[in-house]
Amino acid sequence: MPFEIERKYLVIGGQWKQEMPVRICQGYLNRDKERTVRVRLEGDKATLAVKGLNRGVTRSEYEYSIPVADAVELLKMCQGPLLEKNRHAVFFDGLQWEVDEFLGENEGLIVAEVELTSADQSFNCPQWLGLEVTEDPRYCNSNLCTHPFCKWR
């Protein structure tokens, strides 16, 4: 079974900006806490992902490439609003970080994620990382669709 092992942090400052971002638009066909089904357009690629329940920093994940035209149609079927963000790939100390600048009602939120090979893998944190939010459900992309960052205050 494929697994995603991921840690998520808030981002502070702007020293992380190194690459041109890729625009992402994604939506959820299912946002059940035990399983989510995500459709994503990322630049000129499209994927369908099924993710299981989070268990700490680990969860099952099945992700498949799909035709862009199919993703456009599936996004119209998604529950709730779509999520849009600019994603930057940032390399630090041998790891690739994905830094997401959220748009729309989530504008102002910047989150960095790193995928690991094991839950106990050690790594050095870049200076621009803030608070870890891995286990805070408010920062799950599926939750940001229906409970956007602008309404937290």
Is residue 19 over pLDDT 80? no
Tens of pLDDT, residues 88-105:
999 999 999 999 999 999
Looking at the DSSP bridge assignments, the partners of residue 83 are 26
Encode burial over 127-151: b for 16+ CB neighbours within 10 A, e otherwise.
Answer: ebbeeebeeeeebbbbbbbeebbee
pLDDT of residue 61: 94
Residues annotated as part of the active site: 28
More confident residue, 44 or 17: 44
DSSP state letter for 51: E
Average pLDDT over residues 75-85: 94
Domains and CATH numbers, the chain: 3-151 (2.40.320.10)
pLDDT of residue 1: 65
Q: What is the mean pLDDT of the chain?
A: 93
